[in-house]
Amino acid sequence: MSRKPYAREISSEWIFRHPRYLRYMVREFSCLFIGGYALLMVVGLMRLSQGPAAWEGFLQALQAPASIAFHLVALAFSIYHSVTWFNLTPKAIPLPFISAAHYAGWAALSIALLWMAGVS
| DSSP type of residue 50 | T
What was the pLDDT predicted at 99? Answer: 77
CA distance 61 to 54: 11
Strand, helix or coil at 11?
coil
What was the pLDDT predicted at 120? Answer: 65
CA distance 19 to 25: 10
Contact 119, 68 (CB under 8 A): no
What was the pLDDT predicted at 1? Answer: 55
CA distance 108 to 116: 12
For the structural domain made of 14-119, what CATH number should be given?
Answer: 1.20.1300.10
What was the pLDDT predicted at 41? Answer: 95
Q: What is the pLDDT along the chain (120 residues), one digit of tens a residue?
A: 568 888 888 777 777 888 888 888 888 899 999 999 999 999 999 999 999 999 999 999 999 999 999 999 999 999 999 898 888 877 777 776 777 888 899 999 999 999 998 876
Domain locations in the chain as residue ranges: 14-119
